[in-house]
Amino acid sequence: DIQMTQSPSSLSASVGDRVTITCRASQSISSYLNWYQQKSGKAPKLLIYGASSLQSGVPSRFSGSGSGTDFTLTITSLQPEDFATYFCQQSYSTPLFTFGPGTKVDIK
Amino acid sequence: HLQLQESGPGLVKPSETLSLTCTVSGDSIRSTTYYWGWIRQPPGKGLEWIGSVYSTGKTHSSPSLKSRVTISVDTSNNRFSLSLSSVTAADTAVYFCARLSRSLVLVPAATFFDYWGQGALVTVSS
């Protein structure tokens, strides 16, 4: 099984900050890495697929990078609506999938 | 506009079977492009993929749940269903249904869950 880890597990940031979240896979997953945003009480929302492709309708302040085992989600200028929990998910082992444990971004 | 809606009992007794249905509107579940999946989230915890189903009825399930999971598709009514047997308190969670899409931005295709239902809380308790 491919295991996913994320760091940090939580972070506090201010509006306008640049935020970086890291996701690591237990083995190489090439670029088969997706990122989701989840707000409290809501369903996850797809942000990034294939490690760096921005989902339609997602603001350009979100970007993804990485390949192999190490990946990054960057928010260039944090907005009030970006306070949420972010999950990575590997699709290398399609049709089997695993998610990371999540990173909670809250207001400093 | 694609919408997915979970439905089913919110309370299930231990050792019984949890059953949920996801009704899809705005797209045909017969589409050969997509799989349809179930993901769950225990209160305050992370996301766990349960399994996926194709319009032909072909399924894939998480190895950790496979012995208890049945996923089926009803193309006539544009919906798919989840059954989870022998439930315990550990199965208490919000259960989401979602569409599994793919993109040739990568080869083989990248796959991802692009549309989600709002989620249904299922509590296992006597």
* Closest listed residue to residue B46, CA positions, set B101, B109, B96, B111: B96
d(CA B87, CA B70): 13
Q: Which helix (H) or strand (E) holds A3?
A: none
Peptide bond into B43 cis (omega under 30): no
CB contact under 8 A, A49 and B62: no
Q: How many CB pairs below 8 A link A and B? A: 73
Q: What is the pLDDT of residue B107?
A: 86
CB contact under 8 A, A31 and B49: no
CB contact under 8 A, B110 and A101: no
List the single residue in B with minimal CA-CA distance to A47: B114
CB contact under 8 A, B103 and A53: yes
Angle at B70 between CA B4 and CA B79, to 5 degrees: 25
- What tokens appear for A92 in the block? 């290398």
Cα dihedral B58/B62/B68/B69 (nearest 10): -40
List the single residue in B with minimal CA-CA distance to A6: B46
Chain A segment 40-79 residues within 8 A of B by beta carbon are: 42-46, 49-50, 53, 55
pLDDT at B94 over 90: yes
CA distance A48 to chain B (A): 9
* Closest listed residue to residue A61, CA positions, set A52, A74, A45: A74
pLDDT digits (tens, 9 = 90+) for B100-115: 999 998 888 999 999 9
Split at pLDDT 50, 70, 90, the class of B39 is very high
pLDDT digits (tens, 9 = 90+) for A29-52: 999 999 999 999 999 999 999 999
Of B35, B63, B114, the CB nearest to A46: B114
List the single residue in B with minimal CA-CA distance to A46: B114
d(CA A9, CA A86): 10
In angstroms, what CA-CA distances link A80 with A3, A107, B106? 31, 8, 33
Q: What is the pLDDT of residue B32?
A: 83
